[in-house]
Amino acid sequence: RPQLLIDTDPGVDDALAILMAHAHADVAGLSIAAGNVGIGHTVRNACTLVDLLGAATPVFPGCPGPLVRAPEEDAAFVHGADGFGDVGFPAPAAAPADEAAALALLRLARERPGELTLVALAPLTNLALALRLDPALPARVKRLVVMGGAVTGHGNTDKVPAEFNVGFDPEAAHVVFEAFPHFELVDWEATLRHAFDEDEFDRWLAAGDARAGFFGRVFGTARAFNRRKARRGIIAADALAMAVAIDPSIVTRRESRHVAVELDGRLTRGATVVDWAGRLGRPANADIVLEVDQVRFGAMVRAALGAAGEG
């Protein structure tokens, strides 16, 4: 089984990705970022998930905000004020570890050289801090899979043609994209191409176990938001990135390009710039995932909800 170290800001689609990770891989830890909502909520939500799963996965609290500039928006309007659909879960029994996320990332990568796949499902603040502390980190991990960016410039933030994770902390994304000679990028537009049919997804939720029951509850605000936006289907960005992290053979189409982050820009701070035409003369750092096998992606999600038989 793959060994994953997940940087995440749960978050509804983060929750689904974390369920998938525990169903299909060994999870070395959850390092927690601020993003969808504040760090207090994202740490607590990660602990709630650990309780649900009955797992011993450590939760490492991360940086409470971006490296440089305070963000203009979070994503509470999608995920709920508490990041988990404002369901009102009781305080979790699991407690976060007494080790900062960036330090835990470095320690675990040192302890298991070449074994861990880093899965970044949140603004890249913790990873950037870790890289600044120890630039040798990329050589110590097996792969880095990032959910982030908007390679054709559509994006999902309000004011800029950017994707939320990169737009929330552009400097952090810049540090990570410059430091890693090679990473896999699952961008926002890929997630739109890999939505699930709502009726089909509801059948999985109805057929699944406690994990499906849980996800059905946290998912309410995000579903309502998508409907207001007239988006079709169930969009789960972090789940798609997780599928790629768990099994890279699921990818059916990819392009290797240099990807950078715009840090200034009158209209484009936080946008990802893909050098499609090779003008920058820089080596490709990113494998951009364009298409995955949707049937296998669905099977991975179903298994994570305890609805594997519901083909």
User: What is the footprint of Ca ion within residues 225-254 (CB under 5 A)?
Assistant: 238
Query: Out of Ca ion, ligand BDR, none, which partner does residue 21 contact, by CB within 5 to 8 A per kind?
Result: none
Q: Around Cβ 72, how many Cβ atoms within 10 Å?
A: 12
Q: Which is nearer to ligand BDR, 140 or 165 (CB)?
A: 165
Work out which of 7, 12, 14, 78 binds Ca ion, going by CB under 5 A.
Answer: 14
Distance CA(206)–CA(201), nearest Å, equals 9
User: What is the footprint of ligand BDR within residues 143-162 (CB under 6 A)?
Assistant: 147, 156
Q: Which is nearer to ligand BDR, 240 or 273 (CB)?
A: 240
Work out which of 164, 183, 196, 214 binds ligand BDR, going by CB under 6 A.
Answer: 164
Among 151, 144, 137, smallest CA distance to 102 is for 137
CB of 207 to ligand BDR, least distance (A): 25
On whether the CB atoms of residues 102 and 130 are closer than 8 A, the answer is yes
Work out which of 67, 121, 160, 241 binds Ca ion, going by CB under 5 A.
Answer: 121
Distance CA(114)–CA(275), nearest Å, equals 29
User: What is the footprint of ligand BDR within residues 214-243 (CB under 6 A)?
Assistant: 237-238
b/e sequence 25-52, b meaning 16+ C-beta within 10 Å: bebbbbbbbbbbbbbebbbbbbbbbbeb
Q: Using the rule CB under 6 A, is 126 a contact of ligand BDR? A: no
The pair of three-digit structure tokens given for residue 81, joined into one six-digit string? 């004020």
Q: Around Cβ 13, how many Cβ atoms within 10 Å?
A: 26
Q: Residue 169, SS3?
A: coil
Q: Which is nearer to ligand BDR, 61 or 167 (CB)?
A: 167
Q: Which is nearer to ligand BDR, 188 or 215 (CB)?
A: 188
Distance CA(101)–CA(123), nearest Å, equals 13
Residues forming contacts to ligand BDR in the complex (CB under 6 A) are: 11, 13-14, 36, 75, 121-122, 147, 156, 163-165, 188, 237-238
Binding site for Ca ion (CB under 5 A): 9, 11, 14, 121-122, 238
